[in-house]
């Protein structure tokens, strides 16, 4: 069994907590290392196994990720847990590979315009970097999973609508470059469920047995509807953040990722077993509230609780 099959068994729904990275990308205050560790341990106890924990970016600019190695170690100490770290350049790649993190994530833009504006490079150059990352992975001791996201895959903050054929072409190119999985990201929350369903169905077909991850933002209130459409289209790996923590640099005032606890409720209501205890998960919001009292948290389940008569869930 390969590393990716071990961490992403294809007969299971996998919900990934990205609040510790994407959720903290824009915050002004952020949790202490100790609080992040409690956040992870408490969610692990609730049944969560996949955590995006930080990025290898300059600690001067992103002090919230200065402790990324400690957090990677925390996740690594938990049986069957998968820590994920974001890298955007070769220095970061090397640091990530040296950290022993289970999964290295990177990003290419769906549009040439966003790639140039955001990363000052072409998409071809970005894919060449992904290929280099995969080569370094192959030469590394522990061979982490490599995951490349396609940002702006469902709409671009610069050019607006995105041709789905371009996203599918990039998906193929990324698999050719050697990634283990591709994440399709609605970075600015432009999509509706029909668009998500159509793109995901086609991407899942290209991927075959390799995982496609769906990364949605709830910017325009479509997050859960889009997640539902992605599940219907065959997606089995989805991202969310506790309380919908996080904003978006391209959409000021926007909310963050899909609310993790609502995503769990959605999956369970559709008959997909997540292995996650919603009530235990909701209780973890207390850590975020006390560490970041100025950050808005969202979510229906936290507000209203489980419906009467909901069977208790085993974690």
Question: Where do contacts with a second copy occur on this chain (CB under 8 A)?
Answer: 155-161, 188-195, 218-222, 224-225, 227-229, 251, 253-255, 259, 262, 265-266, 268-271, 298-301, 303-304, 307-310
Considering the complex, what minimum distance in angstroms separates the CB of residue 166 from a second copy?
A: 15
Q: How far is CA 292 from CA 19, 95, 231, 273, in A?
A: 13, 28, 32, 31
Whether the CB-CB separation of 127 and 170 falls below 8 Å is answered with: yes
Question: Which lies closer to a second copy via its Cβ, residue 27 or residue 188?
Answer: 188
Considering the complex, what minimum distance in angstroms separates the CB of residue 110 from a second copy?
A: 14
Question: Which lies closer to a second copy via its Cβ, residue 63 or residue 161?
Answer: 161
Question: Which lies closer to a second copy via its Cβ, residue 70 or residue 113?
Answer: 113
φ and ψ at 105, to 5 degrees? -110, 145
Q: How far is CA 77 from CA 101, 159, 231, in A?
A: 11, 43, 31
Considering the complex, what minimum distance in angstroms separates the CB of residue 136 from a second copy?
A: 36
Active site annotation includes 248 = yes
Considering the complex, what minimum distance in angstroms separates the CB of residue 124 from a second copy?
A: 24
Which residue of the set 82, 134, 248, 267 is catalytic? 248
Question: Which lies closer to a second copy via its Cβ, residue 205 or residue 270?
Answer: 270
Question: Which lies closer to a second copy via its Cβ, residue 17 or residue 268?
Answer: 268
Considering the complex, what minimum distance in angstroms separates the CB of residue 209 from a second copy?
A: 25
The residues assigned a catalytic role are 248
């Amino acid at each position: 069994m390969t590393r990716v099959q071990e961490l992403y068994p294809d007969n299971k729904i996998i919900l990934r907590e990205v609040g510790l990275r994407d959720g903290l990308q824009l915050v002004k205050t952020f949790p202490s290392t100790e609080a992040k560790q409690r956040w992870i341990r408490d969610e692990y106890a609730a049944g969560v196994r996949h955590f995006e924990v930080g990025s290898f970016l300059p600690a001067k600019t992103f002090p919230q990720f200065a402790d990324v190695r400690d957090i990677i170690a925390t996740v690594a100490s938990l049986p069957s847990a998968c820590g994920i770290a974001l890298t955007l350049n070769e220095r970061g790649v090397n640091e990530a590979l040296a950290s022993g993190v289970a999964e290295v994530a990177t990003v290419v833009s769906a549009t040439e315009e966003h790639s140039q504006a955001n990363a000052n490079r072409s998409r071809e150059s970005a894919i060449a970097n992904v290929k280099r990352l995969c080569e370094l992975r192959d030469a590394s001791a522990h061979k982490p999973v490599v995951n490349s996201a396609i940002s702006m895959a469902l709409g671009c903050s610069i050019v607006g609508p995105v041709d789905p054929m371009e996203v599918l072409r990039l998906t193929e190119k990324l698999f050719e470059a050697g990634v283990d999985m591709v994440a399709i990201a609605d970075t600015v929350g432009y999509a509706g469920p029909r668009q998500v369903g159509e793109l995901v169905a086609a991407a899942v077909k290209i991927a075959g047995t390799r995982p496609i991850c769906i990364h949605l933002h709830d910017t325009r209130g479509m997050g859960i509807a889009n997640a539902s459409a992605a599940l219907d289209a065959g997606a089995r790996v989805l991202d969310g953040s506790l309380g919908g923590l996080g904003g978006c640099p391209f959409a000021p005032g926007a909310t963050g990722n899909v609310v993790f606890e609502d995503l769990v409720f959605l999956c369970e209501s559709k008959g997909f077993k997540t292995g996650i205890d919603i009530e235990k998960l909701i209780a973890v919001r207390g850590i975020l509230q006390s560490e970041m009292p100025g950050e808005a948290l969202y979510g229906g389940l936290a507000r209203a609780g489980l419906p009467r008569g909901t069977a208790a869930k085993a974690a």
